[in-house]
Each structure stands twice: as structure tokens, then as C-alpha cells.
């Protein structure tokens, strides 16, 4: 034990050799906080492993990251708009829309929606005057529909209660605007108003956990709090908006979940996870050359935090796994399984005045899942119903819409569509039925009945209907992918199993002539 460490332990009243935390020599040479003159107390030293506490390192991190961002940032429409907008409130609006759309959704998907949105509602005032139906229509396919609704409600609030001026501080944005959480408030305040405040989203969580070796459950409130502290410590006071975007950009393009490009990473010198991997590689090559010293065992003894007692380290039950490399971080507690639900959905078809097919769609309630969107007449199915019972229930429901004229024999079971919402594993059991010419529905929006209307297939695509009702292609999953966008269909026995089906395909299915 070094004299300094012995002295430190003495100051804490610890006898030498008791409760000793085994520490290796500091090997991350790049860490400028290492090896400095004052030996911190044991507890400070433990937590320092997960912190940025040295101003020199913090400044180096900022400089490296911003230089990379200036050179490599993607050309995205919201960045261009924000850079060209001199009016602060208009600039904040351009950032706000993009940040809300980007929650849970891939950048590539958002671009088209963003451009159309900004063309249609270029200002807060324009959005405040829009109808919810128009908002839902433009949002259709983007998933998590309440985002669009809340964005519009917040715009109305800014116009009617805040004299058309967005709040400027992150705390105020979060407090006053519906749908604006801590992350979005920080993004708007830093990017549009230059407030030196950090942001923490999924990309930033990944980068920070790797850079500071944080292996505790990254979804736990205690860890999230620590990550916000780190983000606020690191954010560049001169260019906070660029710094925050750079952190997110790094997570999205370099420090990716499964295949991080560490060799291209501008903050590699500050990264605990990478440091550990390099030490492992160094030891492996020494072993290969027969030069491995006893100090270079199978698992290299790299600098570690207080093993076994630190609430931010990898849990003792799931220690570092060499095969995962830097992807050991971040860790999350196992996700709750989404609950399984089955819903019957009925494609009711009739011939329009010109003989073209028309389909009945019904509006969902104004609150709850997919609020205010349109769908084919649907009803939840009780578990345990056999096929015959299921059919009876569906017929009863259709009769409520189309009257007793429904010919039972025409009801066809078409197939099943599986749609994964964030918390529901939904199976749509799809039926179709061709009604007699010019069939009418019994009610629309009266006496508590939901609104309904007949639409052509082209109208259907333009209507504010959910992804589950509209699309059938399978989307890639990823850190930014909307889980609600994943759709899988299984056909009935007349179709090959596991075939990907869209509802458009169902519309062409035999409808029981
Ligand atoms: Fe991520 Fe690798 Fe960069 Fe560390 S060095 S921040 S793991 S990309
Ligand atoms: Zn630790």
C-alpha cells in the first residue's frame, strides 16, 4: 500500500489491510484526473470513477466532441431551419416540433413528416389554429399519437395564455407546456435559447454510461439523476445547443447500441468502457506472444470502482462480459412483457355510387390509446372464445353498425395482424363482409355513438388512421425505432404462415360475394 493511501485510510480511521479495496495502478493514461497530487478520500475516489470532476478533462471532452460535430454532423432539416431563424420563438418552435417527433422515432422517418408539418404549420400561431383532425391526419403513421395532440394543445396555450411567446428557461418550458418533459425542455432551451443545460435521452444515456463505466440499471431514477448531473457538468456553456446535439449525434451514429465505432470516436480518450477493452486486448496480445506478466491475467485488472459496493457499477450478479466489449454498458432491468390482447376488426365493404368499393371507418374515443383516430369497426375479444363464438360476437357487433340486413354467410375470416404497442401485444383478428348495394350505417356521432363514415381505399390512406390499420410492412427495430411501427401478419389457412400482410391486402381478399 502506498504511503499516500495508507495516510488516507488513516484519516478515515481504517486500519491498514482491513476492508482494502483492491486497486490496480491507474492505467488510463488519458485520464488527466488520475495521478494528481491530492489523494482523495476513499469514498470520493470511488465515485470519481463515474464522474467528470477535473476541469481539464471536461474541457478536452467538449473540444473533442464539438470539433467532431462541426465536421461530421448530419444535414437535417430542423438544424437548417433553426440555424436560419432569427426570431427566438420561431426558432424554438422549429426545435420543439423536431424533438417531439424524434421521441421514439427514427430520424429517417421523421424527416418527411417534419417537412410536411412545417410547410403546413410554419408557426406556433398556425398550429394553434389547426384542427385536431388535421393534426392526426398528418401524424398518422408516426406512432404515439398523443404527441401530436399535445403539441397542438401546447401551441394553443402559448398563443392564448402566454401572448404567443415561448418560455425560455428549461424549467419554465417543462412546467408550462403540456407534453414537454425534462429532456424536450432542455433541448429547446439549449438549442433555441442558448441555456447551458444538459439533456439526457437514450443516445446520451448510452454514451455517458460507457464513458463513465455506469453499469447499474440505466432506467432507475437514481441512475437517471446521476446521468443528468453528468450531462449538466459536461455541457459546453458557450455552445450548449451544439454540445447537446453532438452528444445525441454521437450516440446515434458512432456509439451505437450493438456495433459502436470506437476507433472513430472523438471521446475515446475519456471512455472507461473503451479503456477496459483496450486493456483486455493488450493482455491478450501479450499472452499470445508469451509475454504476459502475472499482472496481466485472463481478465485484466484495469482500474475499477469500489467493486461490490458501488451503486453505479455493473451488478455483481452480472459482471463484465468480455464478449460484449463496450456494449456491457448500459444495462437495463428486464422489461415488463407487454400484455396480450385480441381485438376483432371488421372490414365492412359496400359499393359506392360509381360502383367503387367503400369501407366503413369509425372514430375512436377522444382519450386513451390512439385517441381520436379512425379504425375499422373493432371490438375487444374475451379470452377463450372458440372460432364459432368469436364469429357470433363479431356478427352482433357488425349488426350494431349495419343493421339486421347482414348476411351471416358472407362474413369471412381473413387473417390476423400482430401489432406491438409499447405495452400491448395486440392481435387484430380481421374479418371482412361485403354488404348489399348502398348499405347505410345506423348512426354517426349521435346519442353517444362514435362518428363513422364510408371511405374509398384512397381516402382510407389519407385518413387519420393508425399504423396498425394502414400499414403492413415490417419495420426494422432499433434504438430510435417506434415500437408501434412494427407490424406482422399471419394469414389464415388459405395463406402461407408468417406471411407479411397489410390491410390493403385484406381489402383485396374475397369479401364473400
Ligand atoms: Fe462509445 Fe466507443 Fe466512443 Fe466509448 S469509445 S463513447 S464506447 S464509441
Ligand atoms: Zn462504481
User: Distance from the CA of 230 to the center of ligand 2, in angstroms?
Assistant: 14
Which one of 57, 85, 99, 303 is the catalytic residue? 99
User: Phi first, then psi: what are they for 52, rounded to 5°?
Assistant: -110, 105
Condensed to tens digits (0 to 9), the pLDDT of residues 455-506 reads: 888 888 777 777 666 643 233 332 222 222 222 222 223 333 333 345 555 5
What sign results for the dihedral spanned by CA atoms 245, 246, 249, 251? negative
Q: Is there an atom of ligand 1 within 6 Å of 262 CB?
A: yes
Helices 221-234 and 240-253 pack at an angle, to 10 degrees, of 120
In the predicted model, is pLDDT for residue 186 greater than 80? yes
CA-329 nearest atom, ligand 1: 7
pLDDT tens digit sequence for 39-70: 333 344 446 899 998 999 999 999 999 999 99
Backbone angles phi, psi at 369, to 5 degrees: -60, 130
Span from the CA of 48 to the centroid of ligand 2 (angstroms): 9
Q: Which ligand is nearest to the Cα of residue 215, counting in written order?
A: 2
Mean pLDDT confidence for 387-410: 79
Rounded to whole angstroms, what are the CA distances from 404 to 297, 375, 388, 441?
A: 80, 22, 19, 11
Point out the ligand nearest to the CA of residue 247: 1
The per-residue pLDDT for 30 is: 34
> Hey, which residues does 428 pair with through a beta bridge?
343, 417
465 CB under 6 A from ligand 1? no
Lowest-confidence pick of 105-114, 136-145, 407-416: 407-416
The residue contributing the CA closest to ligand 1 atom 2 is 262
Q: How far is the CA of 214 from the centre of ligand 1 (A)?
A: 13
Q: What is the pLDDT of residues 207-249, one digit of tens each?
A: 999 999 999 999 999 999 999 999 999 999 999 999 999 999 9
Global pTM reads: 0.71
- pLDDT value at position 354? 83
Judge if the beta carbon of residue 211 lies within 6 A of ligand 1.
yes
Atom number in ligand 1 closest to CA 265: 3
> Whose atoms come closest to the Cα of 308: which ligand?
2
Q: What is the pLDDT of residue 220?
A: 95
Asked about 99 being catalytic, the answer comes back as yes
C-beta 268 within 6 A of ligand 1: yes
Least confident window among 45-49, 76-80, 350-354: 45-49
Distance 237 CA to ligand 2 centre (A): 28
The answer to which of 134-148, 160-174, 441-455 has the lowest mean pLDDT is: 441-455
Query: In angstroms, what is the span from residue 220 Cα to ligand 2's centroid?
Result: 15
Q: Whose CA is closest to atom 1 on ligand 1?
A: 255
Ligand 1 binding pocket includes 265 (Cβ within 6 Å): yes
Say if residue 127 is exposed, middle or buried (CB neighbours under 10 Å; 0-12, 13-18, 19+).
buried
Give Cα 109 distance to the centre of its chain.
Answer: 13
| Alpha helices in 406-502, H assignment, sequence order | 457-462, 467-470
SS3 410: helix
Indicate the DSSP class of residue 20.
Answer: P
Specify the pLDDT at position 168.
96
Compute the residue count for the chain.
Answer: 513
Quote the pLDDT of residue 417: 83
For residue 271 and ligand 1, the question of a CB distance below 6 A is answered with: yes
Question: For the segment 81-140, what is each residue's pLDDT rounded down to a tens digit?
Answer: 999 999 999 999 999 999 999 988 899 999 999 999 999 999 999 999 999 989 999 998
**Separation of alpha carbons 257 and 37, rounded Å:** 37
The upper half-sphere exposure of residue 426, i.e. CA atoms within 13 Å in the direction of its Cβ, equals 24
Residue 149, ligand 1, Cβ within 6 A: no
Q: Among the atoms of ligand 1, which is closest to the Cα of residue 207?
A: 6
The rounded Å distance from CA 253 to ligand 1 centre is 11
Judge if the beta carbon of residue 433 lies within 6 A of ligand 1.
no
Does 338 score more than 90 pLDDT? no
* Per-residue pLDDT, 300: 45
Report which of 40, 36, 56 is spatially closest to residue 48, judged by C-alpha positions: 40
* Cell digits of residue 459: 381516402
Amino acid at each position: 500500500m502506498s504511503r499516500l493511501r495508507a495516510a488516507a485510510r488513516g484519516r478515515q480511521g481504517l486500519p491498514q489491510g482491513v476492508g482494502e479495496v483492491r486497486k490496480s495502478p491507474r492505467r488510463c493514461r488519458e485520464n488527466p484526473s488520475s495521478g494528481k497530487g491530492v489523494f482523495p478520500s476513499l469514498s470520493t475516489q470511488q465515485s470519481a470513477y463515474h464522474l467528470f470532476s477535473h476541469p481539464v478533462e471536461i474541457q478536452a471532452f467538449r473540444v473533442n466532441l464539438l470539433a467532431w460535430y462541426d465536421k461530421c454532423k448530419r444535414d437535417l432539416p430542423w438544424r437548417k431551419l433553426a440555424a436560419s431563424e432569427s426570431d427566438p420563438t420561431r426558432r424554438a418552435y422549429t426545435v420543439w416540433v423536431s424533438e417531439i417527433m424524434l421521441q421514439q422515432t427514427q430520424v429517417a422517418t421523421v424527416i418527411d413528416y417534419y417537412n410536411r408539418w412545417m410547410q403546413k404549420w410554419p408557426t406556433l400561431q398556425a398550429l394553434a389554429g389547426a384542427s385536431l383532425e388535421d393534426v392526426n391526419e398528418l401524424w398518422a403513421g408516426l406512432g404515439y399519437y398523443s404527441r401530436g395532440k399535445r403539441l397542438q394543445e401546447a401551441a394553443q396555450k402559448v398563443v392564448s395564455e402566454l401572448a404567443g411567446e415561448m418560455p425560455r428557461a428549461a424549467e419554465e418550458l417543462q412546467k408550462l407546456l403540456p407534453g414537454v418533459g425534462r429532456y424536450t425542455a432542455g433541448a429547446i432551451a439549449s438549442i433555441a435559447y442558448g441555456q447551458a443545460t444538459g439533456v439526457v435521452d437514450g443516445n446520451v444515456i448510452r454514451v455517458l454510461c460507457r464513458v463513465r463505466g455506469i453499469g447499474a440499471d440505466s432506467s432507475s431514477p437514481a441512475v437517471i439523476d446521476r446521468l443528468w448531473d453528468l450531462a449538466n457538468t459536461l455541457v459546453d456553456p458557450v455552445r450548449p445547443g451544439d454540445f447537446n446535439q453532438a452528444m445525441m449525434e454521437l450516440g446515434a451514429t458512432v456509439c451505437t447500441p450493438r456495433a459502436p465505432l470506437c476507433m472513430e470516436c472523438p471521446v475515446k480518450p475519456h471512455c472507461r468502457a473503451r479503456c477496459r477493452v483496450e486493456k483486455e486486448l493488450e493482455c491478450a496480445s501479450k499472452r499470445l506472444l508469451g509475454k504476459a506478466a502475472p499482472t496481466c491475467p485472463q481478465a485484466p485488472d484495469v482500474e475499477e470502482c469500489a467493486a461490490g459496493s458501488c451503486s453505479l457499477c455493473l451488478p455483481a450478479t452480472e459482471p463484465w462480459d468480455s464478449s460484449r466489449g463496450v456494449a456491457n454498458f448500459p444495462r437495463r432491468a428486464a422489461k415488463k412483457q407487454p400484455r396480450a390482447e385480441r381485438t376483432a376488426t371488421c372490414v365492412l365493404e359496400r359499393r359506392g355510387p360509381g360502383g367503387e368499393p367503400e369501407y366503413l371507418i369509425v372514430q375512436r374515443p377522444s382519450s386513451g390509446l390512439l385517441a381520436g383516430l379512425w379504425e375499422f369497426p373493432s371490438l375487444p375479444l374475451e379470452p377463450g372464445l372458440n372460432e364459432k363464438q368469436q364469429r357470433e360476437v363479431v356478427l352482433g357487433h357488425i349488426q350494431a353498425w349495419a343493421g339486421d340486413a347482414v348476411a351471416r354467410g358472407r362474413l369471412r375470416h381473413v387473417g390476423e395482424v400482430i401489432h406491438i404497442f409499447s405495452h400491448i401485444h395486440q392481435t387484430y383478428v380481421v374479418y371482412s363482409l361485403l354488404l348489399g348495394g348502398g348499405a347505410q350505417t345506423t348512426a354517426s356521432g349521435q346519442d353517444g355513438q362514435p362518428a363513422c363514415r364510408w371511405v374509398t381505399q384512397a381516402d382510407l390512406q389519407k385518413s387519420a388512421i393508425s399504423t396498425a390499420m394502414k400499414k403492413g410492412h415490417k419495420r426494422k427495430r432499433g434504438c430510435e425505432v417506434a415500437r408501434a411501427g412494427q407490424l406482422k401478419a399471419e394469414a389464415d389457412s388459405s395463406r402461407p404462415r408468417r406471411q407479411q400482410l397489410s390491410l390493403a391486402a385484406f381489402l383485396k381478399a374475397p369479401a364473400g360475394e
